[in-house]
């Protein structure tokens, strides 16, 4: 049995995640996924919308994934490769070259990401929507204040 191992935060699960997990699963017979714990995300300066438990449940529900486990630190990858007897370590190509040192223990593969889809991009878009809404509210409040000022002068 050929096991493929990968890692990620998998926050705001989207079609890019599905497509990547599908392609990863096609590399072997079994796909195991390390999901960044909330504490590890904090160390990386990241904040997930969903908790580790929720993200693990979501990823576990994906038909391409056979098992999930928590990723607590950068250093655990080698022990995870050994524990799961992984023959392939695979990540999105945004990590290209960062894990080549693992090629002494298994095949290292970097797959292209789905274009124009990323959790970071989704979060930025949502942030802009919120900002635009706040600006509209602020503008409306400014208009109301001006009307009240005009009325109080009359």
Q: What is the pLDDT along the chain (154 residues), one digit of tens a residue?
A: 999 999 999 987 888 889 899 999 999 999 999 999 999 999 998 888 889 999 999 999 999 999 999 999 999 999 999 999 999 999 988 899 999 999 999 999 999 876 666 666 766 666 666 666 667 766 776 666 767 666 655 5
131 is catalytic: no
pLDDT, position 85: 98
pTM: predicted TM-score of the whole model, two decimal places: 0.77
The distance between the two most distant Cα atoms of the chain, rounded to a whole number of Å, is 84
pLDDT at 101: 96
Does 44 participate in catalysis according to the annotation? yes
Among 140, 28, 139, CA closest to 90? 28
- Among residues 42, 8, 47, 24, which one has the least CA distance to residue 107? 24
Q: Which of 44, 121, 128, 136 is catalytic?
A: 44
- The domain segmentation of the chain, as residue ranges, is 3-111, 118-154
Architecture of the 3-111 domain: 3-Layer(aba) Sandwich (3.40)
117 near 97, Cβ under 8 Å?
A: no
The predicted pLDDT at position 59 comes to 94
Cα→Cα distances 7→4, 111, 139, 144, Å = 10, 13, 44, 51
Instruction: For residue 78, give the nearest of 53, 51, 115, 105 by alpha carbon.
Output: 105
CA distance 107 to 105: 7
């Amino acid at each position: 049995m050929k096991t493929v191992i990968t890692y990620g935060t998998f926050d705001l699960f989207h079609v890019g995640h599905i497509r990547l997990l599908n392609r990863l699963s096609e590399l072997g017979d079994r796909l195991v996924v390390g999901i960044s714990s909330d504490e590890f995300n904090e160390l990386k300066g990241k904040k997930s919308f969903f908790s580790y438990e929720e993200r693990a449940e979501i990823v576990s529900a994906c038909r391409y994934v056979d098992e999930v486990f928590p990723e607590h630190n950068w250093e655990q990858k080698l022990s995870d490769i050994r524990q799961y007897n992984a023959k392939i370590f695979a990540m999105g190509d945004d990590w290209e070259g960062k894990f080549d040192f693992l090629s002494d223990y298994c095949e290292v593969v970097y797959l292209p990401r789905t274009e124009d889809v990323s959790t970071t991009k989704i979060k930025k878009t949502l942030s802009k929507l919120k900002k635009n809404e706040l600006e509209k509210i602020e503008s409306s409040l400014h208009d109301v204040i001006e009307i009240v000022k005009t009325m109080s002068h009359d």
